[in-house]
Amino acid sequence: MVKVDNLVKNYGDFRMNISLEVPDGHVTGIVGKNGAGKTTAIKAILGLIRPDGGHVTVKGQEASKLTGAQKSQIGAALSDSGFSSYLRVKDVICILRKMYPQFDESFFRTNCEKQGLPLDKRIQDFSTGMRAKLRVLTAISHRADLLIMDEPTAGLDIEARNDILDLLRQYLLVNENCSILLTSHISSDLEGLCDDIYLIHEGRILLHEDTDTILSSYAILKISEDTYEKLDKSYILSTKKEPFGYVCFTDEKQFYAENYPGIVIENGNIDDLILMLTGGK
Amino acid sequence: MRGLIEKDLRLTLTRKQTLLIFFVMALIMGVSMDGAFIVGYLTILATIVAVGTISYDEFDNGFTFLMTLPFDRKTYIREKYLFCFLMAAAAWCVGTVLCFIGNIVRRSGVSMIDELPMLAALLPVLYLSAAVMIPLQLKYGSEKSKTVLFLLFGAIAVLLFWAKNIFSGTNNPFMQLAKTLDGMSPAVVLLTLTGVCALAAYASYLWSTRIMEKKEF
């Protein structure tokens, strides 16, 4: 569905060089710290910026040359951009009706009501959560087979985040073949939704792994200095010095559980992945 | 395209109170003042309002999302030129009707048929203002473009002043042009003027398309 092949983008000192793929029917997540290049990747996929090198294709078509008809199959929700805040939701409905031949007005209206989005209020008077819900609803209301979401839950409280994630889950239930690419730095959002995860740091992909593998095989090892000296470090991805000894990050939890029964092993998650692979030594 | 026009129309209507005040002012002027001022006033006002929708698109990082919607960059530019024309044409029609009503109320005795070619000439000429403003706004943004426009008109004023001093008396090519135009029928003048303005607007459209194609969001 989406193929990013050696995408190069330079912004002053920042250089991005990544490759990634979103297969048909997959939910793929991109995680990374602020400024890692997540939004740049999303913008390149949506054809909003020109790559300095490499290729970005969406459904086989170069992203920068996507036609209106091809774009109508894509639903995008961006973290800091949406319809003009001077408009009302009822204006947005009229615009979407004319923009997208497949616009599902009754779905949009029903969900606006469910999510507490008043039709007559200007978007500028909406809360952060309401704006985020509107952006996601806009993206999923025209039966797109590719959703691209940049930080759809950033800055939201737990309830609003769950509402948005529920909307996406429901969309996936109804549209089984839909692909989703989403960025987030909230690990729990991605763990519950994504099939695979890319970890991006300083414009490079550090890791690509299935979410299930991250949750089942990756782990944090907490070990004393003595044990650390004797430890087989073949499967240690990253190490951090702590007052009590060392914290190590591994992708072979089972190996250390079987061979070093005395050490503390905590199940890994995406937060650990970010912290240990982008900040560990 | 239809979705974009709908968006611009709705964005324009968000300023309906301001528009209403302008319209009431136009109504008063149309009844009380002579001539075609009202037609020009409404047409240029509508053009400025229409070009102003680019500021709304630009505001709050809006372009980024807008460009993910189902149209390409060329379509966006085409729609802006079309929307400005539709707005200018609608305002011209309203202005012309008001002008004629004003003539009837004042019993000025001016023939509507005689005045129509002159009024019709206002539309392509004033539409040129959109053709100047659209590429400037796209290239420099809504704030900087005002400065550029100010500098541009300053340069034109200096140029005209210089031209006035250089070409004087019988040497003046502008006077010769005016004399030539005087000798032509109003229909030919109108057609020529429309043709020249259309060419200029097309050149502006090509420039805007180029700016848009190069833009990153």
CATH of the domain at A42: 3.40.50.300
Is A48 within 8 Å of B217 when comparing Cβ atoms? yes
Residue B188 has pLDDT above 90, yes or no: no
Burial A91-106 (b: 16+ CB within 10 A, else e): bbbbbbbebbeebeee
Q: Is the pLDDT of residue B64 over 60?
A: yes
**Residue A125 sits at the chain B interface (C-beta within 8 Å):** no
CA distance B20 to chain A (A): 18
> What is the pLDDT averaged over residues A218-239?
89
Residue % of chain B over a pLDDT of 90? 44
Based on the domain organization, do A163 and A238 belong to the same domain?
no
Q: Domain check: are A167 and A264 in the same one?
A: no
B182 in contact with A at a CB cutoff of 8 Å? no
Q: Is the pLDDT of residue B76 over 70?
A: yes
Q: A22 and A142 in one domain?
A: yes
State residue B170's pLDDT score. Answer: 63
To test the contact with chain B by mutation, choose from A58, A81, A145, A150 the residue with the greatest count of B C-beta atoms within 10 A, namely A81
- Mean pLDDT over each residue of chain A, to the nearest integer: 90
Average of pLDDT values for A270-280?
77
Confidence of residue A188 (pLDDT cuts 50, 70, 90): confident
Quote the pLDDT of residue A27. 94
Measure CB to CB from residue B6 to each of A46, A76, A94 and give the nearest one: A94
pTM: predicted TM-score of the whole model, two decimal places = 0.86
A264 lies within 8 A of chain B by CB? no
Average pLDDT over residues B63-83: 95
Domain count across chain A:
2
Buried-state track B177-202, b at ≥16 Cβ within 10 A, e below 16: eeeeeeeeeeeebbeebbeebeeebe
**Helical segments of chain A, H only:** 38-45, 68-71, 89-99, 105-114, 128-140, 158-174, 187-191, 211-217, 225-230, 253-259, 270-279
Q: Are residues A51 and A128 in the same domain?
A: yes
- pLDDT at position B177 is 76
Find the mean pLDDT for residues A175-203: 88
Q: Nearest CA of chain A to the CA of B130: how many Å?
A: 22
Range of the domain at A123: 2-212
| CB-based contact A87 B11, cutoff 8 Å | yes
Higher pLDDT, A106 or A33: A106
Regarding whether A64 and A16 lie in a shared domain, the answer is yes
Same domain, A268 and A154: no
Q: Residue A44 pLDDT > 80, yes or no?
A: yes
Q: Check whether residue A23 and residue A134 sit in a common domain.
A: yes
pLDDT of B121: 86
Q: Do residue A118 and residue A200 come from a single domain? A: yes
Give contacts of A 72-101 with B, CB under 8 A. 72, 74, 76, 78, 80-87, 91, 94-96, 98-100
Higher pLDDT, A225 or A185: A225
Cβ pair A98:B6 closer than 8 A:
yes
Q: Mean pLDDT over all residues of chain B?
A: 86
Report how far residue A87's alpha carbon sits from residue A92's, in angstroms, rounded to the nearest whole number: 7
Q: In the predicted model, is pLDDT for residue A280 greater than 60?
A: no
Of the residues A188, A212, A236, which one is the last residue of a structural domain? Answer: A212
- Nearest chain B Cα to A92, which residue? B7
Per-residue pLDDT band for B108 (boundaries 50, 70, 90) equals: low
- Position B204 scores a pLDDT of 95
Give the chain B residue whose CA is nearest to the CA of A72.
Answer: B70
Which letter, b or e, does each residue of B57-90 get, where b requires 16 or more Cβ atoms within 10 Å of its Cβ?
A: bbebebbbbbbbbbbbbebbbbbbbebbbebbee
DSSP B91-145: HHHHHHHHHHHHHHHHT----HHHHHHHHHHHHHHHHHHHHHHHHHHHHHHHHHH
Distance (Å) from the C-alpha of residue A217 to the closest C-alpha of chain B? 38
Query: Per-residue pLDDT for A135 more than 80?
Result: yes
Question: A with B: how many residue pairs have Cβ under 8 Å apart?
Answer: 83
Residue A143 contacts B, CB cutoff 8 Å: no
Average pLDDT over residues A52-76: 92
Q: Do A113 and A233 fall into the same domain?
A: no
Q: How far is B112 from chain A (nearest CA, A)?
A: 40
Mutate to test the interface with A, among B8, B10, B19, B216 (most CBs of A within 10 A): B10
Query: How confident is the model at residue A196, as a pLDDT?
Result: 93
Who wins on pLDDT, B150 or B196? B196
Weakest mean pLDDT among A66-75, A155-164, B87-96: A155-164
- Give the least confident one: A16-20, B53-57, B103-107: B103-107
Residue B19 pLDDT > 90, yes or no? no
* Chain A residues with CB-CB distance to B3 below 8 A: 95-96, 98-100
Does residue A207 sit in the same domain as residue A222?
no
Question: Which ipTM score applies to this complex?
Answer: 0.86
Residue A226's pLDDT band (cuts 50, 70, 90): confident
Q: What confidence tier does B110 reach under pLDDT thresholds 50, 70, 90?
A: low
- The yes-or-no verdict on residue A76 having pLDDT over 80 is yes
Same domain, A259 and A191: no
Q: Tell me the nearest-neighbour CA distance from B91 into chain A, angstroms.
A: 23
In this structure, are A108 and A232 located in the same domain? no
What average pLDDT score do residues B140-149 get?
A: 84
Question: Which residue in chain B has the smallest CA separation from A87?
Answer: B11
pLDDT exceeds 90 at position A138 = yes
pLDDT score for B159: 86
- Give the residue-averaged pLDDT of B146-174: 78
List, in sequence order, every residue forming a beta bridge with A181; answer none if it has no partner: A28, A148
Q: Is the pLDDT of residue B113 over 80?
A: no
